[in-house]
Amino acid sequence: MGKQTRPTKPTRKQKEEMKAWKLVPDSWLVVQETPTELLLISKSGLKKRSIRRGA
C-alpha cells in the first residue's frame, strides 16, 4: 500500500474500482495506491489520473 517505483498491472479489486469510474482497466497501470486514492497512468503514458476510493 505504500509508494511503488514503477507502474504495475491492477489487481482484481483495483479493476473493479476502475470500472466504477467508467475506465477500461486494460488501458491503465497503477502507479501508487493509498487508502484514499488510486494514481493511474495510461499504458500509452500520455494521461495520468487520480481516482478516489471508497466513494
Q: Which domain holds residue 19?
A: 3-52
From residue 55, how far is each of 10, 21, 33, 46 by CA, in Å?
Answer: 19, 10, 15, 26
Q: What total of structural domains would you count in the chain? A: 1
Share of the chain above pLDDT 70, in %: 89
Indicate the pTM of the whole model.
Answer: 0.83
Average pLDDT on 3-22 reads 89
Share of the chain above pLDDT 90, in %: 80
User: In which band, very low, low, confident or very high, does the pLDDT at 1 lie, cut at 50, 70 and 90?
Assistant: low
Average pLDDT on 2-15 reads 85
